[in-house]
Structure 1
Amino acid sequence: MTRYLRYVRFPLLCCGVGLVAVLIARGLEAAWVTLVLLALEISLSFDNAVVNARVLERLTPPQQRFFLTWGLVIPVFGVRFLGPLVLVALAGGIGLGEAFEAAMHHPERYHQLLEVAEPRILAFGGMFLLLVFLRYFFDEAKTLHWVQVLESRLSRAGRVESLEVALAVVVLLAVSAAAPAGQQAAILFSGLLGLVLQILSTSLAEFFGGEEEAAGRMAASGGLASLVYLELLDASFSLDGTIGAFAITNQLVLILIGLGLGALFIRSLTVMLSRERALEQLIYLEHGAHYAIGALGLLMLAGVVLARWGQHVPEWLSGLIGVVLLLLALGDSLRHSRRQGAAGLPPA
């Protein structure tokens, strides 16, 4: 237990310092809101830590440290601040400076502009995450199955080249057709952008990652490609949390602090799972994480459709589904590990 605690000691310290600072500067209510945002980020992104841990194993220790430190700037400030700022400017037909002014001094107006951009954000993130889910299960080389009756069939279906991409495109066409009037083209473009980025980033990571026997330069390139993929995946997870945060508060500073502290905690969990080789013991945890990813992607796309009637998917629902799926996978993994140990067999 002490070995595991050393990974979360620093993020826990940062969370404590951050909450105390908010308490002193903004008061008890602001500190409570920040704590809620922190919990929201952790519940929505814990499955992200499981998936990222597998990719992180390809990186060198310096690249892992970069992902944990400077790499944190990209999802925290790039996705939670600059990303919505750019989308708000585009959706509202205003300049970036005006969007920044609204974010800092007129949070209600900024929230209204963000709601206009929300369907495009959801379409992008939803399609990116949906394809991550499909590509994991539509894999003919996959032999370890958690839900045997379903996953074995999906694995066999993976023999059809690019079937998962075709299925994702069909889902996107259906979502864009059911989207609010006047937004179909923008949603279709955003969704296609999410698909293209997912395919491109995964393909680059796999291409360079397969050059393990090549020279050091290629190995470094493989790590860089995997790092880029990690950041894109992390960013897609952050989109849902960013939008959900505005349902809790419109104070951008509190959102950045709460979600940023949560992201730091998730980063540390990712490194812990990778370095301790936990996924080799908890063999179904990665499956549960990908089911949670698929559920989150579908819920984000459902949010695009529900916007037509002025409805939205509650933020707690995606977090609850992810936690339940991960707990089920964890329980089955522990039972499998105990059975293997009782039989005197090595871990699967």
Structure 2
Amino acid sequence: MGKVPAFEAAFGLRNPHLQTIVGRLARRRREPRYDRYRLDTEDGDFIDLDRWRGPEDATGVCLLLHGLEGSARSGYMVTTSEALAAAGIQAVALNFRSCSGEPNRLPGAYHSGRTDDIERALAWMAARFPDLPRTAVGFSLGGNALLNLLGREGGGRGLVAAAAVSVPWDLESSADALQRGMGRVYGRRFLRSLREKAREKAARFPHVVAPGAARARTIREFDDRLTAPIHGFRDAADYYARCSAKRFVDPVELPMLLVHARDDPLAPASSVPVETIRRRPNLSLELTERGGHLGFVGRGRGEGRAGPRTGWLEETVSRYISRATHWTTHPDSGVF
């Protein structure tokens, strides 16, 4: 399998915000083909997993983790599931608590460093597909959480490889980016959904969830008022310091692909621990000049297809996961 060509931004889409916005709009047109499975958790809550229908004879299984206020139905989750299926890999998408279309049962939900639900999903995959090599891909917040898991002692959890895209390597830097310039537009979009969930939780758990969380004006303020206290952190600064992915990448031992754009408006490239990543032979860094945040809208291929198209990211990730899966089952086929 050859290497995916380097990413080239589509003509007219060299702006990071256009990459981010057009990438989202283009991908959300795809219709998901999922079957849902609900797992009750030991603490009295639940998580919902969405398994992509197909392929029939899968050679591996991959867990997908979405970003802040996303879900299995987010465009990048659907298109990556499609690409994995085309490569013979069964995709399973984890909806973080409160993100599957139904409020979760407890005051707490999910955050950038929460890993127990990822472990539950991986255990479910191991039980349901015991003979298939397991992998995982995290997007944005989901990538941060995945690195939190993989960088801790015993963090492999039976995975043979992983990938993470547009990771907010330094959560404080990302929170700051959402308070400046165009970043405030993204921040307001996230806050609409987060504040609505905060209102619902404050009504159900008035002695646990402060009503002020529903009036937060920034992501940092929301994390100070709800995310941090409800999940055992002192404040937003403590949460950011303890859960930022840059702390956990060096100890990762399994093969892992890391994709990031230098012009990412939500996760500043200055926070990517490039030197740490490049000195680790098991880590592969695809650091593109352009691409925005989960955008990567490239040029079309072939005559008559010069217009913008998504697909580079999906092809890059699925190719890496497919190669890792193939090498696991055919170690004599060459060096992965």
Q: Shorter-chain TM-score category?
A: under 0.3
Going by fraction, where is helix more abundant, 1 or 2?
Answer: 1
TM-score, normalized by length of structure 2?
0.25
Going by fraction, where is strand more abundant, 1 or 2?
Answer: 2
The structure number with the bigger radius of gyration is 1
TM-score, normalized by length of structure 1?
0.24
